Structure 1
């Protein structure tokens, strides 16, 4: 359903700082967990207090999200650095909630924390999203120019009407997305969730074939039988890069496939000429369609 203007700026989770008011649109529970757990863990490590407004996620689940990142969520809750609150109730008042956030920022600073990281599941407002517009306006006015508050608003695309969803996302200065598996001047590889796979930006050559191979190896632990490698933002790939892709496909068990999308026609011809297009575990599709 995602229909977001390409001009909207996006920050990776590791780059979020106090003063940011960002939106997380997601259509996968895994994407939500990856982004939010990284955001929380980063805040805890930075000495910030984290406040989570939960609608559909139990506090124990959040603790489990943090465990693979080496963060003890239960301990953070016990010492008051991480708090999980119900998102809203039937008596919801946007002004009261926003005023509560302002108090929470002051309390965090008074307790010796660097600031407050806020995140909330916005599904609490369904089916009437009018209150969300009031709430988002209040949060925006609180975060803007602040050196003590960051906020990420979580919107599950599967729950919201398309028109409402686009309008609510536009209330945020930017989006937040999962951290890349690799990111330098030449190559950036970012996990995707719908479909599950990797989006490759930049150049894959002798200098970047090794990190590209590491990113491909990272997918070996994923449960999906088909992993999509999206080359829509690829600028160049040489023979070393193609060999890396082929070797990754050859190493797959028989029931798994690397599906390559948006590979340039000239490169598809090269694969066909040398016979690599018949590599077991490798499927080259035309354009972006499966």
Structure 2
């Protein structure tokens, strides 16, 4: 079983699998992975079926695609063939690695949406061969990659296989998860993300997550964009955390108008260190 690793702990030569159902979490992890590669001096290739969406999402998270970052269609992995072929894809990536090194880059960093394997023209065996054969390219520690699997597109058997053949799986640090609420670490911008319904019973979990963000981050970003309901008790935790921040530090809360109203009711708008960015507007 692959070891679960936060994206910021992936190192050169790591080959990781990411299974996701939350598109925002996927984008957060990809952005952190790409940003780390840029800092390291890697050449970066992102294979996706939604080129414009990925480019705009990276930009929204403060990462503008430069000459070292190339975003291209997933089908380009096929090398112009009519259907996916594992040998062709592995050879293409081997050439891209050599090209990156020849250009003076520290290494090559790849994110690949594996959606191509769920298409009608794809032979299921090609995915198995691809994930098996690509492993040899990581031996020298100059290639680092995340293979992305959308849980809505793949069956449990395929997802289980993907987890087994990758030395690592990458995921966000999760503080709490059940059917009603998920609280996890956000990498870019750094902070905490909560989705679902946050009631008073989970105020302590939120407090612990924010306390870690206070320890790790200069400014704390609290992403509540996908929060449907916020109880006053949990809102009070947010207000108190912001009020207790040392001078020159701040908390930025991104939320809906309904959540903003609850925060305002508990006095959050009166805390100088707290700034609320409301969906479709700003307060």
Query: What interval of TM-score do these two structures reach, taking the shorter chain for normalisation?
Result: 0.5 to 0.7
Match of 1:57 in 2: 50
Give runs of aligned pairs for residues 89-128 of structure 1, distance below 5 A. Answer: 90-127=82-119, 128=123
Contact 1:28–1:194 (Cα < 8 Å) also in 2 = no
Q: Which of the numbers 128, 131, 138 marks the counterpart of 1:133? A: 128
Match of 1:67 in 2: 59
- Flag structure 1 segments of 5+ consecutive residues without an equivalent: 1-6, 182-187, 229-243, 258-278, 280-290
Contact 1:41–1:69 (Cα < 8 Å) also in 2 = no
Contact 1:122–1:155 (Cα < 8 Å) also in 2 = yes
Contact 1:189–1:199 (Cα < 8 Å) also in 2 = no
Contact 1:53–1:86 (Cα < 8 Å) also in 2 = yes
Q: Deviations over 1:166-223 (max 9, x none)?
A: 1222111111123689xxxxxx96356776889998x959xx48838x99x7436424
Question: 1:253: how far off?
Answer: 8.9
Aligned residues: 223
Give SS of 1:91's match.
coil
Contact 2:173–2:184 (Cα < 8 Å) also in 1 = no
**How many angstroms apart in 2 are the aligned matches of 1:142 and 1:134?**
14
Q: Which of the numbers 224, 243, 247 marks the counterpart of 2:227? A: 224
Evaluate the alpha carbon distance shift between residue 131 and residue 192 of structure 1 in structure 2; reply closer, same or farther with a 3 A threshold: farther
Contact 1:18–1:147 (Cα < 8 Å) also in 2 = yes
Contact 1:13–1:176 (Cα < 8 Å) also in 2 = yes
Q: Which of the numbers 54, 70, 73 marks the counterpart of 1:83? A: 70
Match of 1:42 in 2: 36
**How many angstroms apart in 2 are the aligned matches of 1:152 and 1:209?**
26
Evaluate the alpha carbon distance shift between residue 160 and residue 250 of structure 1 in structure 2; reply closer, same or farther with a 3 A threshold: same
Output the TM-score relative to the length of structure 1. Answer: 0.63
Q: Which of the numbers 146, 154, 160 marks the counterpart of 1:152? A: 146
